């Protein structure tokens, strides 16, 4: 035995370790017992990798509520973890060297799940690095879901942002583009985007309610 192996490890932690589990999470009593070890492991991985865990907890609760069989439930949660990892890589690439709020990773993962191309997600992150990214990401995802060209959609949102539209107003840009397309009359997606671009920054705000007392909401 070499002298290295005789080292006295004086700072070993002396506490005896138990083996019980507290079981005080949202999942207790709601997720099938056979799925818990695998889901716990996935959530522990997210914790250790500094990824948000709430999306995974929500996915487990969702699957349980829907009666999804345990193996598919676990796969759903695992898929969520992979999406979060992919989102983290994307955020790292778009915002190198900057602290990553958990909300950024979760928002990117949600947008990717909706079918937003990663390259477009990166553009939205880089467009407004100091702002919560969710509105821009969802606005872009809305446009892509409505079959607008992804790069053209991103160009419109970048232009809108440059003209001072922020946060949820970017969602209004996407809504306006969709409404222009719905008008029909041979209007193409390109036409619709051009029409909205010409409106900037004065895209319509969302409809407000007329209450029974006749007052409009703010």
Which of 29, 35, 38, 50: binder of another protein (CB under 8 A)? Answer: 50
Which of 104, 123, 138, 161: binder of another protein (CB under 8 A)? Answer: 138
Q: How far is the CB of 33 from another protein (least distance, A)?
A: 13
Stretch that binds another protein, among 123-131, 151-159, 190-198, 200-208 (CB under 8 A): 200-208
Stretch that binds another protein, among 109-117, 156-164, 184-192, 195-203 (CB under 8 A): 109-117
Q: How far is the CB of 84 from another protein (least distance, A)?
A: 12
- Which residues ranging from 82 to 101 are in contact with another protein (CB under 8 A)? 96-97
Which of 38, 61, 194, 200: binder of another protein (CB under 8 A)? Answer: 61
Does residue 141 interact with another protein by CB under 8 A? yes
Stretch that binds another protein, among 19-27, 123-131, 153-161, 193-201 (CB under 8 A): 19-27
Does residue 33 interact with another protein by CB under 8 A? no
Q: What single string gives the DSSP state of each residue in 82-122?
A: HHHHHHHHHHHHHSTTS---HHHHHHHHHHHHTT--HHHHH
Q: How far is the CB of 37 from another protein (least distance, A)?
A: 9
Q: What single string gives the DSSP state of each residue in the chain?
A: --GGGG---TT-------------STTTTTS-GGGHHHHHHHHHHHHHTT---HHHHHHHHHHHHTT--HHHHHHHHHHHHHHHHHHHHHHHHHSTTS---HHHHHHHHHHHHTT--HHHHHHHHHHSTTS-SHHHHHHHHHHHHTT--HHHHHHHHHHHHHTT--TTHHHHHHHHHHHHHHT-TT--HHHHHHHHHHHTT-PPPPP--B-TTSPBP-
Which of 91, 171, 177, 192: binder of another protein (CB under 8 A)? Answer: 171
- Give φ, ψ of 205 to 5 degrees: -80, 170
Residues at the site binding another protein, with contacts judged by CB under 8 A: 2-4, 6-7, 9-13, 15-26, 40, 43-44, 47-50, 53, 58-59, 61-66, 68, 72-73, 75-76, 79-80, 96-97, 107, 110, 113-114, 134-135, 138, 141-142, 145, 168, 171, 206-213, 215, 217-218
């Amino acid at each position: 035995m070499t002298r290295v192996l005789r080292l006295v490890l004086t700072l070993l932690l002396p506490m005896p370790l138990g083996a019980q589990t507290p079981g005080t999470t949202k999942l207790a009593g709601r997720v099938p017992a056979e799925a818990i070890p695998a889901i716990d492991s996935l959530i522990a991985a997210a914790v250790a990798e500094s990824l948000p865990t709430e999306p995974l907890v929500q996915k487990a609760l969702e699957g349980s509520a829907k009666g999804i069989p345990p193996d598919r439930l676990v796969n759903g949660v695992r898929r969520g973890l992979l999406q979060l990892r992919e989102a983290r890589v994307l955020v790292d690439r778009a915002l190198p060297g900057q602290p990553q709020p958990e909300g950024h990773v979760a928002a990117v993962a949600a947008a990717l799940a909706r079918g937003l191309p990663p390259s477009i997600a990166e553009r939205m992150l880089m467009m407004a690095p100091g702002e919560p990214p969710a509105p821009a990401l969802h606005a872009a995802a809305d446009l892509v879901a409505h079959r607008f060209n992804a790069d053209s959609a991103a160009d419109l949102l970048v232009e809108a942002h440059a003209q001072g539209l922020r946060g949820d107003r970017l969602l209004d840009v996407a809504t306006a583009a969709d409404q222009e397309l719905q008008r029909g009359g041979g209007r193409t997606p390109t036409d619709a985007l051009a029409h909205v671009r010409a409106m900037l920054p004065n895209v319509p705000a969302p409809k407000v309610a007329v209450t029974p007392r006749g007052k409009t909401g703010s």
